[in-house]
Amino acid sequence: MNKYNSEANYWKSIAEKVLLKVYEEVLNNDFFGSCSIIKKKEDQENNISTKLDRNIGDIIINFFKKNKININLYTEEFGNIKIGNDSYITAFIDELDGTSNAFHRISLFTTSIVFFNDKYDLNTSKIIGAATMEYNKGILFSAGKGVGCFENGSRCHISSRKIINDPKSLLLLDIYSEKPENLCLLSKLKCFKRDYGSNTLHLAYLSSGKIEAFINSKQKLNDLGAGILLVEEAGGIITDFNGKKLNLQFALEGTTPIVATCNKYIHKQVLSILGG
């Protein structure tokens, strides 16, 4: 393993340890009991925050402090926090993706963390390690740049299906604004179509071969970091609606359209539909 892969493997392992600690503490407490809404996020009418979001943020911050890990941390709940001495490693945290599910006592929600090996240039090309915890079954998805993608420690394999218009395929959709005619075409596909209410979970499912494609017309940037590495390290493809590789600067706010698929065959089919 070269030096770069060793660094990626290290931050992959840190991501795993952080989320296993979060899952342990959340599981040992009544997490549904702490899902009451505490506020609506500023300028985001449909985006809410709960006590559980704050509790998870506290657990993650305390983990880095207790283990004396120097980190430049960004979280949805607490903003930018510097822990320890100056570090070139930056982490983005999404405490709870699927807040609405949690609020309605549906356990399809996740916590994610992604590490960038740069303090200032937070481009998607700088992602080095990531993990996502699915609370429903306690599944930990993790990846390191050049190391691979894993589900509870076992290497992930993407779906081998090559046709999206097939009853055996599964397409996850989160569409806010797209051409009506294209939506109509998508709705007529023979594949199963679902939305589980957690986009980070959608990307994790894609990386582990559970689905064939995921389309989102306004994907939140903060939910995307872990998913990008999971999908790419598993061998999948993730682009914008024009088929261009994502080249994004990360921030706590902002969205981008994405098409994520298990292979080039299905990717081409989906882009063709979106292109009208």
Domains in the chain with CATH codes: 3-146 (3.30.540.10), 170-274 (3.40.190.80)
Q: What is the pLDDT of residue 35?
A: 66
Q: What is the pLDDT of residue 44?
A: 47
Residues 198, 94 contacting (CB under 8 angstroms): no
Please state, in angstroms and as integers, the Cα–Cα distance from residue 170 to each residue in 161, 202, 215, following that order: 10, 11, 11
CA angle, residues 132, 138, 139, in degrees to nearest 5? 50
Backbone angles phi, psi at 145, to 5 degrees: -60, 115
Q: What is the pLDDT of residue 131?
A: 98
Q: What is the pLDDT of residue 36?
A: 62
Q: What is the pLDDT of residue 98?
A: 87
Residues 151, 141 contacting (CB under 8 angstroms): yes
Nearest CA to 204 out of 15, 52, 33 is that of 15
Quote the DSSP letter at residue 123: B
Residues 131, 141 contacting (CB under 8 angstroms): yes
The rounded mean pLDDT for the chain is 88
Q: What is the pLDDT of residue 38?
A: 58
In Å, the largest CA–CA distance within the chain is 55
Please state, in angstroms and as integers, the Cα–Cα distance from residue 159 to each residue in 64, 149, 261, 263, 267, following that order: 35, 14, 9, 8, 13
Beta bridge partners of 81: 73
Q: What is the pLDDT of residue 1?
A: 45
CA gyration radius, the chain: 18
* Distance (Å, whole) CA 47 – CA 157: 33
Low-confidence stretches of the chain (pLDDT beneath 70): 1-4, 31-48, 176-184, 276
* Distance (Å, whole) CA 72 – CA 121: 13
Q: What is the pLDDT of residue 187?
A: 74
Residues 114, 76 contacting (CB under 8 angstroms): no
Q: What is the pLDDT of residue 39?
A: 56
